[in-house]
Structure 1
């Protein structure tokens, strides 16, 4: 196995909450075309279901699908997806994918956790994987894929702290959960690390949209933060985050993207993006399954060390020297010199050191 294996048992309870609903009354199924063919693997099929943010959420659903498309181009594997709208049809969507002939089925988002277990129990000959979830007891035909999202969040928090002129920055989350805590507290810790370096106090305003698909709500929250004095806002809100970016454009302020490089959405306003390379992990885990490796019965965890998280290379909007300093912060995280908090308790301990 190429990647580090780690069971995230402590997060298991939180993982049962809903990051975003998977399933829907209106489904969309697509297959890639013009793939490079491979006689050895062209009969292998990988499929995924999205959450409510949809396949074009400019975030982790889109990244996952791009990863599968790359897999198809490189191996000839057949790939497809069902775009989900509501949680109620999630199990049905997984069954549909299984009936379509898929060998490996992905659930994108930990809201899929229970549905994946149910489908895996009903179809022991199929392999399942779920993003952003780990189980206390993982079935042999299920793989959990987790990310240390607190690591890139710390890095972009450091950027925010080094950039703010108002000494007030914001964080907009989707739905509060143990998973999103990684983003929030990693970010807050990075801000305070920068504040300590600069010898000043920086306030962090935090609010949740209670949705990963409500762009209007995300925009309203961010607009209020900007009007209240925040000049940098980081979002970990899926589709709701596109509204945060729109608010930054209208306010002429800075915004920090998430999951993938979101600079293209607002080139003059996106300061940087915290990368969570879901597509890379989905592609690599799928390829290992295709190669016959035993991926089931475990959780695979990805972070800076595995080069599956980080910050975007684009840094034209950063103050001089901040990008390079942030990369050094990343090296300190990898070496263990900086232990990034992922929970409230860990954060409070971090800032009192």
Structure 2
């Protein structure tokens, strides 16, 4: 077991103890003298997406503020780019001497699998599944299904129609974990609830995370059909779901970040809550481990017990059901309620 440092990032201080999975070992490579040269590659949307990538950026910013001196290079993926471009991006950073290199998003898994073995003295980390194995690769993972179970419980408790929805950016295994957890949470509270599911693109098409117009249309159809709460897991496309909720006078649920604070001000009042993934904490913890030479390879899973996933109270819309949510959280943590990832 490896204890990760506690960090204040964003609006909540979360003390974490992360456990590295099987095959992990302490990285013994010493960084070069001088500032730590950190490379960070964002998924589509990059810094400023008000969701997934911004959570990683917050962890990086906190590390720059509180840890050792750093020189940072940030690069973002482009919509529709071929997989080879991600490989080239990671390779270029490694060749330029950046160490560590953090990849934000599962779409970089093939790139790290290809480049990691060719640069054995460079440390790599990737946020989210699938797992990439290697003695110099750390996998920063989240029990998204657990946090999404709570979102499903919120939707079921707040819905007046018993009809709720889910909009996913693409039909990938990662996003499916959110859907599966959400459905379990809805059915746990209201077994008779109707759940409408829409994905914006197929499993290998990342453009679904950059199509707010398409997300708006999908959510609008759900609201018109009777849904009154829709959970979006769609990156920058989630803005379209919020617009549809505003137009329908209904609720939406955010993801990854406290979107009632980060979304456009005119739609914040329709965001019931957000399922936060503490990507900021994971990125900070990883950089702290690099800085003090204790970083590990292998899997590090941030779950409800570790505070790696949670819900937000901004706006005060769910304070009335918070005691029930806390009860469910404890039941999950202690194994009395089982949440399955798929």
Q: Same fold (TM over 0.5)?
A: yes
1:313 positional shift: 2.8
CA distance in 1, matches of 2:239, 2:216: 8
Tell me if structure 2 keeps the 8 A contact 1:7–1:134. no
1:280 counterpart residue number: 281
Correspondences of 1:233-272 after superposition (within 5 Å): 233-264=230-261, 265=263, 266-272=267-273
1:118 positional shift: 1.5
Tell me if structure 1 keeps the 8 A contact 2:167–2:198. yes
1:44 counterpart residue number: 36
Match of 1:98 among 94, 97, 100: 94
1:225 positional shift: 0.6
Tell me if structure 1 keeps the 8 A contact 2:269–2:315. no
Q: What is the SS of the residue equivalent to 1:72?
A: helix
CA distance in 1, matches of 2:180, 2:322: 21
Is structure 2 residue 76 aligned with structure 1 residue 83? yes
- Mark the runs of 5 or more structure 2 residues left unpaired by the alignment: 4-17, 24-31, 202-207
1:88 positional shift: 3.6
CA distance in 2, matches of 1:342, 1:44: 36
Tell me if structure 1 keeps the 8 A contact 2:286–2:295. no
Structure 2 length as normaliser, TM-score?
Answer: 0.85
Structure 1 length as normaliser, TM-score?
Answer: 0.82
2:190 counterpart residue number: 195
How far does the alpha carbon of each residue in 1:14-62 deviate from its partner, in whole angstroms, 9 at most, with x for none? xxxxxxxxxxxxxxxxxxxxxxxxxx99611222111112221111111
1:171 positional shift: 0.3
1:282 positional shift: 1.0
CA distance in 1, matches of 2:57, 2:93: 15
- Mark the runs of 5 or more structure 1 residues left unpaired by the alignment: 9-39, 344-353
CA distance in 2, matches of 1:101, 1:283: 20
CA distance in 1, matches of 2:46, 2:218: 22
Displacement over 6 Å in runs of 4+: none
